[in-house]
Structure 1
Amino acid sequence: MNANPFGWVEIPAMDLARAQTFYQQVFAYQFDTLEMGETMMAMFPFDHEKPNASGALVKGEGYVPQKQGFLVYFSVEDVAPTLKNITKAGGKVLQEKMSIGEHGFIGLFEDSEGNRLGLHSRQ
């Protein structure tokens, strides 16, 4: 296999419109929506020609926001200003920008739905 091991991420949302607004305000993402039966998805931007994974915000049975367990990191230019955007958009900073040595920097946050997520940057 000649790619990174992860191909897709689904982030639970109790209120899909609220979650979309949060992520639009923080990252300036535009979403495409998809309905699959009772499950609603708001797809993050995705370019099949580029590496890395993408994903969707998902509202549906079995999708429950989590503060524990696995942790997904969004790649950003700089963690610090993104954490400020998170606070402005109604999220909560859980870990300020922190060095992880030669691997860059991380920060943790809680989104509008109560999910614990991370940010990663090289600077």
Structure 2
Amino acid sequence: MTKHAVAWTEIPVTDMEKSVAFYNDVFDFGMTIDNSGPNPMAMFGATGNAIGGHLYPGKPAADGGNTIHLYVPDGLEATMKRCEAAGGEIVSPIITIPPGRFAYAKDLDGNSLGIFEAAS
């Protein structure tokens, strides 16, 4: 198994249904709410060796908390437009780095997100 620095991510949200719809609209995840455990959760990116995570009912950090960078399903600009259309906020210009390009955004609860497009 490949060793990664990050094992898992969790994003606290105040409204599971609205947040699942937001992340599905923006990133095309196909998430559903799983109520089989002690708390509801909706998983994303947990296939194979991929690092995944989930949304869960919780209290987001007042300042946006840590930033989780998520891959775009298509172009960066298209994903940024979907983010805004779904109720999120783009909070930076596009930033280019050797591995690709990204922009900072906030979800419906103000959680900090990096919307990342890998270099081709």
Normalization by structure 1: what TM-score? 0.82
Structure 1 counterpart of 2:116, from 113, 116, 120 = 120
TM normalised by structure 2 equals 0.84
Q: Secondary structure at the match of 2:54?
A: strand
Judged with a 3 Å threshold, the aligned counterparts in structure 2 of structure 1 residues 91 and 68 are, in CA distance, closer, same or farther, namely closer
RMSD across aligned positions (CA): 1.8
Q: Is the 8 A contact 1:78 1:122 kept in 2?
A: no
| Cα deviation digits, residues 79-106 of structure 1 (max 9, x gap) | 2211111001111111121112x22211
- How far residue 45 of structure 1 moved from its aligned partner, in angstroms, is 4.1
- Structure (1 or 2) with the greater strand fraction: 1
* Alpha-carbon distance change, 58 to 52 in structure 1, aligned in 2, over 3 angstroms: same
Moved beyond 3 Å, runs of 4+: none
Unpaired stretches in structure 2, ≥5 consecutive residues: none
Work out whether residues 44 and 55 of structure 1, in 8 Å CA contact, stay in contact via their aligned partners in 2.
Answer: yes
In structure 1, distance between residues paired with 2:65 and 2:86: 24
Q: Could you tell me whether the CA contact under 8 Å between 1:91 and 1:110 is conserved in 2?
A: yes
Structure 1 unaligned regions, length at least 5: none
Q: 94, 97, 102: which one pairs with 1:97?
A: 94
**Contact residue 12 and residue 55 of structure 2 kept, 8 A:** yes
Q: Percent of aligned pairs with the same residue?
A: 27
